[in-house]
Every structure is written in C-alpha cells, then in structure tokens.
Amino acid sequence: MKKWLKKYLIWFAILLFVAVGFLWPLPKYIEGPGDAANLSKIVNIQNHPDKRPGQFMLMSVSISQARPFTYLYAKLSPYYSIEPEEDVTGGQDMKEYSKVQQIYMDGSINSAIYTAYRQAHKAVKIKYHGIYVMSLMKNSNFKNQLAVGDVVIALNGHRFKSSIGFIKYVRQQKYGQKLTVTYKRHGKLHQAVAPLGMIAKHRAGIGITLTDDVQVEPKIPIKVHPGQVGGPSGGLMFALQIYSQLTNKDLRHGQKVAGTGTVDGLGNVGEIGGIDKKVITAKKHGAKIFLAPYVKPTKTILKYEEDHQTNYQLAKATAKKYAPSMKVIPVKTFNQAVSVLGKN
C-alpha cells in the first residue's frame, strides 16, 4: 500500500508540475511570429477578380499571455519577446483590448479603400460620424458612463467634422465645467453628463483617447473579411491588394509580397510594432519581397523606437540574419510602394 501511495504521489506531482507549467497565467505577454494571409482571399471587389499569380500577404504578430513553460521558451527563442501586460493591453481587459484592435482594423481597411480607390481614379466618398472611445483615463469623470467602443457624436449639442474639432472645443472649456456628451452604443443614442477633469497640467478634458469613426463609400462595391486579425498595421498591404484589383496592374510578378505599415487617406505609410516578427513570418511563408515603413533615423526618433531602430532598420537587420534572400524595401508612401513593385 505504501509503495502504491508513493507512486501515486509522484505521478500527481508530475501532473501538477505540467499543469502549472502550461496553464498558470503570468502577468506578462509573449509576442512572436504570427500568420500570413493571402489577401486575394480576403478582398472581394465586384467585377474585379484577382487572377494573377503570386500573393500580397497580410502579416500578423501572435500575442498570448505567458505561462511558465511558454515564458521559458520565449526566453530561449530569438524570435519571441516578453512584454509587460501594461505595454500590450494598455491596462484594458482582453475584451476591451480586442474591441480596440477591431476598431483599428476597421479604420485601417477604410483608409486602405479610400487610398486605393483614389489612386486608381475610382469614385469614393468618405463620411465622418464621430470619434471612437479607445480608452478612458483612470481620473476621467466620465469613466463610469462612457465605455471603450462608444462613438461620441456631439459635445453640448455641437457636432464636428473631425476629431480636431472635438479636441479644440474641449480645450476651450474650463476645469469643472459640465459637459454633455452625446454618444452611440450598439446603435442607440445616450448622453453622459459630468464636469471636465484636469487630465494634464493646466488643461481640462474628458479623459479619453480617441480615433475617428469614418465610413467609406466606394462606387464599385467591395467587401473585406479579415477574420480575427486586428490592429492598424495592414493598411499598406490592403491598399496594394485593392489597387491591383481595381487597375488590373501586375504588381507582384508572380511573387509572394509581404509587408506592413499603416496608410492614411493621403497615402502616407506609417510605422508599426513587431516588424521583426513579421519578417520571420514572411520568410516562413516564402515571401521574396518585404515592404517596410521608412522614416529618417534621427537621434530623437531612435530614442523612442523599438530596439532604438526604425521599422526599416529593424526589418533589414532581421532579414540579414534570418532571411538573407528576402529583399527589404523601404517605403514612405503608397505611390512609392506601387512604383517600386513595378520595377521588381
């Protein structure tokens, strides 16, 4: 009986160790190479199919809460990084974080559609609806009324044509002054009333971070289904896929083209996070070209950059080490990306 009990306790201890190793959550997140999706399967434009060989690929970064075993694996792997929870979620719970990432993705798609249609000389309109609430500061007087994902459409009955108008109006108000915020949640209108708080030194405010809620209306119908991927970093690649379908221009030349970067309505390409992981993903999926956002690496910029390198510098260094046959191309604008692909 004692021998059986000893064996039982040993097995129980092993199972407990394995369970803790795989399941016990740590206050850290692990970022690593994600997936690469063929954008021709995601973008559907009426009467403008994509029949050319090659792919434009949508890159993603995998994010998961650390467990003891995955934490150890990430420590030993050059492809992964361990990030503080606050840096990844911004202090939001995962439901709010996912909602924010979806809002960013929707905005990214809208900007890509607008950019690609304009550059292809196809009719497209843009409508401004208000501002999304992306997060609420802890000292906001509206934190128990507004929620992440709400769309603010008016302040004290005043509507604006951009987020700049909202910001200017709030800055003209005084600390402690009551503000009526009209907002939409799940399609229904609501109002929140509270005094403006002191959110920064000598400056009153609502205490939210925000982004524009816009709706793009192209004349040629388009549907984009990104699935579970979130965030703003796919803008450039969405725009290239849409543009190539609208114009029927062969920008890929039969190759797998990867890349990343935001794109605004003016066609400017912006930097993103985790570009080194995306280079690894691109290599694993057979990409021959990788488009990376470019900014001039000044001392001030490098001070705040990830690993003190610009997106292009980090992508170039990662490719040199792990994917030497991949060509990393710096791009500042959407037009530049189209031009450089036409030559490759």
In the predicted model, is pLDDT for residue 117 greater than 90? yes
- Give the residue numbers annotated as catalytic, written as ranges: 233, 278
Question: At a CB cut-off of 8 Å and minimum separation 6, what does 150 contact?
Answer: 132, 133, 183, 184, 185
Beta pairing partners, 224? 43
In the predicted model, is pLDDT for residue 210 greater than 90? no
In the predicted model, is pLDDT for residue 173 greater than 60? yes
For 135, the enclosing helix (H) or strand (E) is strand 124-136
The better pLDDT of the pair 60, 342 is held by 60
pLDDT of residue 307: 79
User: Token pair for residue 27?
Assistant: 């206050």
pLDDT of residue 11: 78
Domains of the chain, earliest start first? 7-92+221-342 (3.30.230), 127-214 (2.30.42.10)
Q: How confident is the model at residue 5 (pLDDT cuts 50, 70, 90)?
A: confident
Rounded mean pLDDT of 140-148? 92
In the predicted model, is pLDDT for residue 174 greater than 70? yes
The candidate with the shortest Cα–Cα distance to 179, out of 200, 160, 207, 202, is 207
Report the alpha-carbon angle 310-314-316, nearest 5.
115
Q: How many residues does the chain have?
A: 344
pLDDT of residue 2: 65
142 close to 181: Cβ distance less than 8 angstroms: yes
Q: What is the pLDDT of residues 7-40, one digit of tens each?
A: 777 777 778 777 777 888 889 999 999 999 999 9
End-to-end Cα separation, the chain, in angstroms: 75
pLDDT of residue 1: 53
Q: Whole-structure pTM over 0.75, yes or no?
A: yes
Q: State the CB neighbour count (10 A cutoff) for residue 135.
A: 18
pLDDT of residue 113: 96
What whole-number distance in Å separates Cα of residue 156 and Cα of residue 181?
Answer: 6
Q: Name the amino acid, one letter, at 205.
A: G
pLDDT of residue 142: 94
pLDDT of residue 155: 94
Rounded mean pLDDT of 175-201? 90
